[in-house]
Amino acid sequence: MVCKTIGFALRKFESSSAHQTYRPIAHLVEHHADNVGVNGSKPFGPTNIKESIMQNKKRKKVPLYDFDPKHVLHLHRQLFLFGAVTDASANYIKQNLIAFDIVSNQPITLWLSSPGGSCSAGLSIIEVMQNIKSPVITIISSEVCSMAASISVCGDVRWIFSSGIWMQHSMASGQSDYLNYLKDRTAFLVMYNEILNKIMKDHTKLSEDDYKKIEHGELWLTAEQALEKGVVDKIVDNKN
């Protein structure tokens, strides 16, 4: 009797509209390329966090036995980089960016809260972000540092929570080898650092003093300072 009841419930759920008609929230945001500046200074689409996450106030109930948060987030084109930027985390982000872009060209939301990590892994994420048709909305939650900070500024639309922190500094590398090899690798690291600086210059309004601070120390910015310096496009607070 129990098996029959469960089977009936499953068939009823499979035939329900809730199971058949998932629509990602990103469809709410139409991609108007002409409305977005080079630095993402003219944001398009949703005007607040609630709009970017929730379709509407009327939600159909989903049985608990079939509820998978990751599945729901993927349906709504939401990605998370919470933790270090590594080859593994970068591969996860890149694969999903490409997969979402194949499905449709609706906006993708990338949530960021990271201390940074591998420069090569981070640059590979940026390359994919800049070469897919789907616009990417980056949202800074808590703090983003180093390579994660570079990723955050490359979104088509860049948001930060009111308590968010953005930090950038120069590259770090540890080397141990023959002297001649170290000379070549040092020259490469200088070139690599210039690539990262160019990303900052292309996507922000940081001043020369800011770059000196990055080169000789660490540049820490609050949400208000990040907005003023063109690092983000909008601050998200509880009222939004």
3-state DSSP helix/strand/coil percent for the chain, to nearest 5?
A: 50, 20, 35
Helix axes 179-203, 208-216, angle to 10 degrees: 150
Average pLDDT over residues 89-112: 97
Task: Tell me phi and psi for residue 28, to 5 degrees.
Answer: -70, -20
For the chain, domains (ranges, CATH) are: 26-236 (3.90.226.10)
Tens-digit pLDDT profile for residues 40-77:
444 455 666 656 555 445 555 656 556 778 888 999 99
Q: What is the C-alpha to C-alpha distance for residues 105 and 103, in angstroms, rounded to an integer?
A: 7
98, 132 Cβ separation under 8 angstroms: yes
Tens-digit pLDDT profile for residues 127-172:
999 999 999 999 999 999 999 999 999 999 999 999 999 999 988 7
Q: What is the C-alpha to C-alpha distance for residues 77 and 81, in angstroms, rounded to an integer?
A: 13
pTM assigned to the model = 0.73
Average pLDDT over residues 166-183: 81
